[in-house]
Amino acid sequence: MRGQAHTLEATVAGLLMLSSLIFALQMTAVTPLSASTSSQHIENQQAATGQGVLATAADQGALKPAVLYWNNSSSRHHDVGVQQFYTSGPPDNRFGAMLSRAFNENGIAYNVYFRFQTSDGDPITRRYVYSGVPTDNAVTATHTVTLWDDDPLYEADGTPSSTRLSTENVTYPMPDTGANLYNTVRVEVVAWRI
Amino acid sequence: MAHLSGEDRGQILLVAAFALAVIFVAMALIVNSAIFTENLASRGETSGSDGALSMRADVATSVGAGVEAANRNDNGSVGELTDAVSASVRNISRQTGRQSARSGRVVDVSYQSATEGARIYQSDGT
């Protein structure tokens, strides 16, 4: 009879240990904050980097020249391939250099989109730099730039040309939506870890 | 019924298991608190306000450019100037507002008042 009592006590002890082990293991679940390529910390950092690049470019006057980096005679961006957007690296302007310094050397892929609008307010989205379809953990940083009729298009070397957005037969593909105001563009940088 | 006497009983096993269980639960709590701290650390302290601040800076830049454009193109009279500026402000408000709505931001820019200034220019080009 003593053996049975010991067995019973050992079983209860085993059950107690097992259930506490299970309880403890449940607590080390994978949360969105566990270290991985999709960690919330990394997403926050990438979003802040994107926002910083855009703010710096806007502050240094490099963002609008990048939007208006347009070859009026071939009616596409300078040095762009058969697609209408840059696929092998950023464009050769100051904004492109900033993007490349911030992202390219850190194993982060990014897309840049321009979102214009028609005079009715419908959005027109154009790709500017395109590296592929973003992953589920991509982050977005945005900056809004207002284009005016007097804004010039920019040459391939980054200097303003004599062609303005209000010039006759300008090939910049966006509609003029106001009197002095030409259009409002929202520059979106979508970045993700690869 | 068993005769459970003195020092031969298996209570030591039970006590040890109980102690281990308490340790496991304590460990679980400690791990959990680390998760909670990480969660707090990944939240920005100024969440919400920095978006509004950067938008205000953007809008100020845009309206400034609008005033410049009005001075360049619609400088016939004060009425023309103020009309052009308020038209630009309306456009900025509508377009920027619509763009920002994509990221859950509401922007409303409105024209309040203008003070008539003076412009100095040389009327005779010679």
For the whole model, what pTM was predicted?
0.75
> Residue type for A81, please?
G
Q: With a threshold of 0.95, tell me whether the complex ipTM lies above it.
A: no
> Residue type for A41, please?
H
Tell me: pLDDT of A12 over 60: yes
* Two structure tokens written together for A130: 């395109």
- Average of pLDDT values for B114-123? 78
Q: Is A21 on the interface with B (CB under 8 A)?
A: yes
Chain B residues in contact with A68 by the CB 8 A cut-off are: none
pLDDT single digits (tens) A26-57? 776 666 666 666 677 788 888 989 999 999 99
- Average of pLDDT values for B59-77? 87
Mutation site, B7, B13, B25, interface A, largest A CB count within 10 A: B13
Burial of A13 by CB count in 10 Å (0-12 exposed, 13-18 middle, 19+ buried)? buried
- The predicted pLDDT at position A112 comes to 94
Chain B residues in contact with A146 by the CB 8 A cut-off are: 61-62, 65-66, 92, 95-96
Spatial distance between the Cα atoms of A64 and A128, rounded to a whole number of angstroms: 13
The residues with which A140 forms a beta bridge, in sequence order, are A190
Domain coordinates in residue numbering, chain B: 8-43, 52-102
Q: Answer whether A181 sits within 8 Å of B69, measured CB to CB.
A: yes
- The predicted pLDDT at position A110 comes to 93
pLDDT single digits (tens) B23-60? 988 888 887 787 777 777 767 665 667 778 888 888 99
Identify whether the C-beta of residue A180 lies closer than 8 Å to the C-beta of residue B69.
Answer: yes
Chain A residues in contact with B27 by the CB 8 A cut-off are: 24, 27
CA distance A175 to chain B (A): 13
pLDDT single digits (tens) A121-171? 888 999 999 999 999 889 999 999 999 988 999 999 889 998 888 888 888
- The predicted pLDDT at position B6 comes to 58
Alpha carbon B117 to chain centroid, angstroms: 37
CA nearest to A64 within chain B: B62
Spatial distance between the Cα atoms of B42 and B45, rounded to a whole number of angstroms: 9
Spatial distance between the Cα atoms of A97 and A56, rounded to a whole number of angstroms: 12
Specify the long-range contacts of residues A133-137, CB closer than 8 Å, at least 24 apart: A134/A109, A134/A190, A134/A192, A135/A192, A135/A193, A136/A38, A137/A37, A137/A38, A137/A43, A137/A192, A137/A193
Q: Any residues with CB less than 8 A from the CB of B39 and at least 6 apart, and which? A: A33
